[in-house]
Structure formats: structure tokens, C-alpha cells
Amino acid sequence: MLYELRVYDAVPGKLAALNDRFAEQTMGFFKKHGIGMLGFWTAEIGTSNQLTYILKFDSMADRETKWAAFQADGEWQEVRASTEKDGPFTASVRNTFLRTTPYSPEPKIDTNVQEMRVYNAMPGKLPALNDRFANHTTGLFEKHGIKNVGYWTEDVGTSNKLVYMLGYANLGDREKGWAAFQADPEWQKARAASEANGPLVSQSQSTILRPTAYSPR
């Protein structure tokens, strides 16, 4: 399964209109063209004025066929033109193609709040980082009530990134679970052992997300 992470920076004041179009029109066209949808989110904590969503495809060839058909759909083109008669909704679009890691569960959104975390691994350390998640981190997350939603590495180009998503019932549970995880002696021991020859991560980024009202559940 190929996953496509898409992040839209909305034109100031246009995020609500962008969400309305997804809810009322775009999702219907995605379904029409057989494009799978994992979820749609806006930032609860992090950069505002963004729409983040993840699509699902069988392969890159499947993605190219379905996305081309969607963009060429005359009805979609009419909807886009009519809704953007006063100007575009998006200032920029970024997309990343991802594959789940061998230890990832099948991604599914069934919690109220999600957290997307992106780790840039130190050069040559991505395999060790994945090993630590597979053998230690994911189990410790579950121990402390943190849901493992999905783990991905980039599918196109040379990647040194791990992208993953966690789930929580609410923000309070996120803070409680994360604090307990970080204080866990088992985690501290696993981290120290894995980083005996230096850290595995050079940079990390975290965004707290909340599913939109129209996001699949």
C-alpha cells in the first residue's frame, strides 16, 4: 500500500472554505475515482491555517492513474472554478509518498486526537532507529496508553526520515501518557543502549492534529 501525505497551506481566511469543499465535493470525487482516504486533519497545536490529509493507493502506478483521472474530471474542474472565482484556496501544497514499516500496524484513525511526528535520522542511523521502535518504543507507547496509528518511511528518493502517527483520547491523556513514557526506566535503558555510539535522531518535529468533521472514522 502506498500512502500520500498532503499538506495544504490555505490562503489566509480560506481554510474554512477549503474544508467545506472537501466535505461537500472533493471527497465525493475521490470516491468516484477509487482514491482511498485515511484521514483529514487541522492543527490543534502547531501551524494553523493548514489542512493535512493522507490518501491510500495500491501502488505508484495506481496513484498516477487515479489522480490523473480526478484532476481531468470535468465536474471537478467546474467545482474548483466556481468555488475559486474570488481567488484560490491554497497558497502552497506539499506531498510525500510513504510506505509503512514492517512493524507498523495497519493505519486506522479511531481516536479523538492524533500526533504526527517526523524524525530526521542521523546519517546511516535510520535502520537502528526503526529497530528501536520495533523492539522497544511501540510496546512502551502501548504500555502507557499511547496508540500506535502508523509508521512510515519515504517511498521516493533517498530518505532518512521516519514519519509516524500516535493517537490519544484527548490532550490531557497525551500529556499524561507521554510523561509516563519518558520517565519509564525501561525506555531510558533502551534509549541509552541504542545511543551508546551517538544519537539516532538529528531533528524532530511534532504536530498535534484533530480530525475534521468529515474525516473517515
pLDDT at position 157: 63
pLDDT at position 2: 97
Which 8-state DSSP code applies to residue 107?
A: P
CATH of the domain at 10: 3.30.70.100
pLDDT at position 207: 93
Single residue among 70, 99, 128 that ends a domain in this structure: 99
Q: Are residues 23 and 88 in the same domain?
A: yes
Phi then psi for residue 56, to 5 deg, are -130, 140
pLDDT surpasses 80 at 109: yes
Q: Are residues 151 and 194 in the same domain?
A: yes
Query: In angstroms, rounded to a whole number, what is the distance separating the alpha carbons of residues 142 and 182?
Result: 13
Average pLDDT over residues 59-64: 96
Exposed, middle or buried by CB within 10 Å (0-12, 13-18, 19+), for 26? buried
Q: Are residues 92 and 138 in the same domain?
A: no
Domain-embedded: residue 217:
no
pLDDT at position 33: 98
Query: Phi/psi class of residue 216: alpha, beta or left (left: φ > 0; alpha: ψ in -120 to 50)?
Result: beta
Strand residues in 46-146 grouped as ranges (E) = 50-57, 90-100, 113-121
Owning domain of residue 124: 100-211
Q: Are residues 57 and 22 in the same domain?
A: yes
Average pLDDT over residues 5-28: 95
pLDDT at position 158: 63
Domain-embedded: residue 50:
yes
- Choose between 159 and 2: higher pLDDT: 2
Domain count, the chain: 2
Query: Phi/psi class of residue 145: alpha, beta or left (left: φ > 0; alpha: ψ in -120 to 50)?
Result: left
Q: Are residues 32 and 85 in the same domain?
A: yes
Q: Are residues 91 and 138 in the same domain?
A: no
* Helix, strand or coil, per DSSP, at residue 47: coil
Single residue among 99, 115, 142 that ends a domain in this structure: 99
pLDDT at position 115: 97
pLDDT at position 46: 59
Q: Are residues 91 and 6 in the same domain?
A: yes
pLDDT at position 52: 96
Contacts of 215 (CB under 8 A, 6+ apart): 39, 40, 41, 53, 109
pLDDT at position 47: 64
Residue-wise pLDDT tens digits, 145-159: 999 999 999 987 667
Q: Are residues 27 and 15 in the same domain?
A: yes
Q: Are residues 163 and 195 in the same domain?
A: yes
Domain-embedded: residue 216:
no
CB 2 within 8 A of CB 107: no
pLDDT surpasses 90 at 217: no
Q: Are residues 76 and 124 in the same domain?
A: no
pLDDT at position 48: 75
Query: In angstroms, rounded to a whole number, what is the distance separating the alpha carbons of residues 95 and 149?
Result: 20
- For a pLDDT cut of 70, what percent of the chain falls above it? 98
Q: Are residues 89 and 105 in the same domain?
A: no
Single residue among 44, 78, 99 that ends a domain in this structure: 99
- 70: which 3 cell numbers? 480526478
Q: Are residues 87 and 134 in the same domain?
A: no
